[in-house]
């Protein structure tokens, strides 16, 4: 039994080491993130992420939120008018925010002060540079940057 557990542990370690993000993607806690250079509407951004078998970024913890915010501060020198689309929306029911890719209600929320504030006009979630890259609701048709995310287990180089 002990040997079986040790072997299982060794296999899991091996798999963990094997999981790597492709060039251009940043790694955090076994997930890979792509920060776009181009801008697109929320729907176009989601479609582009899908082309790469990923989805718009889903923030599930304060740690993940801090990682993304610090990367955006790094990219933009701490203050910016840029904004980056996330996977969240309240398109289906006003004021009920879900991660669109999974349908899950959003449990971790870190809205900027006075956000969300645009009601039916704004149904898509972004990290807004003018609000220290905290969460804001925005018009889904606006062209912004976007962050794609994929599990490192699904994103590795195809070998052989
Ligand atoms: Ca809304
Ligand atoms: Ca807003």
SS (H, E, C) 14-64: HHHHHCCCCCCCEEECCEEEEECCCCECHHHHHHHHHHCCCEECCCCCHHH
Q: What is the pLDDT of residue 80?
A: 84
Of all ligands present, the nearest one to the C-alpha of 91 is 1
What pLDDT band is residue 20 in, cutting at 50, 70 and 90?
confident
Q: What is the Å distance from ligand 1's center to 101 Cα?
A: 17
- Residue-wise pLDDT tens digits, 44-100: 999 999 999 999 999 999 999 999 999 999 999 867 889 999 999 999 999 999 999
| Average pLDDT, rounded, for the chain | 90
| 3-state SS class at 92 | coil
d(CA 131, CA 117): 13
In percent, how much of the chain has pLDDT > 90?
79
Q: What is the Å distance from ligand 2's center to 95 Cα?
A: 12
Q: What is the Å distance from ligand 2's center to 64 Cα?
A: 22
Most distant CA pair in the chain, distance: 59
Q: What is the Å distance from ligand 2's center to 130 Cα?
A: 11
Q: What is the Å distance from ligand 1's center to 41 Cα?
A: 16
Mean local confidence (pLDDT), 20-43:
96
Q: What is the pLDDT of residue 17?
A: 53
**Domain locations along the chain:** 23-153
Q: What is the Å distance from ligand 1's center to 97 Cα?
A: 8
Q: What is the pLDDT of residue 155?
A: 82
Q: What is the Å distance from ligand 1's center to 116 Cα?
A: 7
Q: What is the pLDDT of residue 160?
A: 45
Predicted TM-score (pTM) of this structure: 0.86
Nearest to 81 by CA among 158, 144, 13, 27: 144
CA quadruple 113, 118, 119, 122: dihedral sign:
negative
d(CA 90, CA 77): 30
Domain 23-153: assigned CATH number:
3.10.100.10
How is 100-129 classified by DSSP, letter by letter?
TTT-PBP----BPTT-S--GGG--EEEEEG
């Amino acid at each position: 039994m002990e040997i079986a557990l040790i072997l299982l542990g060794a296999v899991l370690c091996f798999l963990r080491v094997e999981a790597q993000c492709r060039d251009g993607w940043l790694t955090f806690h076994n997930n890979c993130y792509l920060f776009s250079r181009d801008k697109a509407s929320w729907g176009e951004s989601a479609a582009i992420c899908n082309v790469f078998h990923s989805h718009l970024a889903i923030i599930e913890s304060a740690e993940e939120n801090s990682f993304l915010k610090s990367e955006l501060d790094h990219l933009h020198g701490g203050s910016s008018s840029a904004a980056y689309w996330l996977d969240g929306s309240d398109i289906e029911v006003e004021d009920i925010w879900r991660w669109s890719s999974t349908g899950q209600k959003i449990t971790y929320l870190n809205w900027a002060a006075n956000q969300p504030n645009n009601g039916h006009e704004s149904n898509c979630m972004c990290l807004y540079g003018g609000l220290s890259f905290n969460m804001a609701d925005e018009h889904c048709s606006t062209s912004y940057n976007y962050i794609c995310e994929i599990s490192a287990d699904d994103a590795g180089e195809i070998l052989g």
